[in-house]
Copies of this chain bind each other. A is one copy, B any other.
Amino acid sequence: MKGNFTFYNPTKIYFGLNSVGNLKYELDNYGPNILLAYGGGSIKKNGIYDKVMEILESKEKKVFEFKDIMPNPTLAKLLEGRSLCLENNIDLILAVGGGSVIDCAKGVSASVFVDDPWEEFWLLNKPATKAIPVGAILTMVGTGSEMNGGSVITNEEEKKKKGHVFGPNVFPRFSILDPTYTYTVSKYQMCSGIFDIFSHLMEQYFSGDDDNVSDYLIEGLMKSLINSTKLALKNPKDYEARSNIMWISTLALNTLVGLGKDQDWEVHSIEHQISAYTNCSHGMGLSVISPAYYRHIYKYGLGKFYRFAVNVFEVNPLGKSVDDVAKEGLNCLTEFIKDSDMVTNLKELGCTKDMLIKIAVSSDIEQTSYKVMTADEIYEILLESFEG
């Protein structure tokens, strides 16, 4: 742990079958006015909405609905939630859904007390000094938003999707994680979430050449994720597999496994712009460009890519060059993507060729990658990923 760090994660996690029952105890900590944030209404089909409403009513809460939160939530949507909070003196924002719903809820939470959220958070990068409490009930995994203080919001006018870290005030006070709530998610969304998790782990792993405890944790999470993904693909109602995936998702982005490390995040920066142009599923955008991106940088972090191959994908290094082992590891990554039915080309995500240069020039350049990108290189990576 060469780097200094501060770690503080005050989110309380209730994990497991029927853990939603804990909501009633948590609600005692907040006033009567609840903003119920959710997405397109799948929670009405699978019964989660009714269950949550029943608990809210048993506690005599006044519920204000903030619905139709879209994947890749927009600044306009955030401002709609902000108005609802201001008009109704909201005491708790209860987000029921996946990462987009929780991200939007956290964005609303932090924006109520500032004049211009986009400027203060996304442009000036300020932390939130005051926020309305957020609680989360997770129904789809991948983003890790349930146990961190971050949020990704899209400014549609500027075609810019951007992440912000608000800090501890915006961490959900509690998050309820029942693996069975993820059973009704489509296979496409399940796989998209899984690759989002895997990418979070890779973004934190592929940096630095030190011997950092965090890297050992990441390797363990990657191995566990690969094992459970195989089982969940065979049987989406395999409770143990789905529960492992759910918990790995939380741990992959609750700041723990990146402590003391430089981190990369270039793949996320590029994907955010693919999403901004195509509105594609985030995880699938990541799965498309990751192989080409890592082929471009592996020589600059050869030791780590060798270690990835051996420790995560169990490549046998005997009698092989370091370079060959590293490349074999990247081949295993590509196989994992294909075997898990993830998307492998930009065309399938709705990307057109003339978008590529716009995506390349609008992507943020991360400074702690093994190889700091140029727009030209990003363009090359996008070209290589176009037809897969």
Contact = CB atoms under 8 A, between A and B. Distances in A.
Interface string A237-276: 0011001101110010000100110000000000000000
Contacts of A219: 220
Contact of A2 (B4, B10, B210, B240): B240
Contact of A1 (B1, B18, B240): B240
A8 interface: yes
Given A213-B244, A213-B248, A7 B2 contact: no
Interface in A1-45: 1-19, 22
A16 B12 contact: no
A300 interface: no
A15 B4 contact: yes
Interface stretch (A62-70, A73-81, A92-100, A221-229): A221-229
B6 A14 contact: yes
A351 to B, nearest CB: 34
A179 B11 CA distance: 27
Contacts of A12: 6-8
Nearest to A179: B1
Nearest to A11: B8
A247 B216 contact: no
7 contacts: A1-B244, A2-B239, A6-B22, A7-B13, A8-B10, A10-B10, A211-B228
Given A212-B244, A217-B221, A219-B220, 8 more contacts: A1-B244, A4-B16, A8-B11, A211-B224, A213-B247, A217-B217, A217-B251, A218-B220
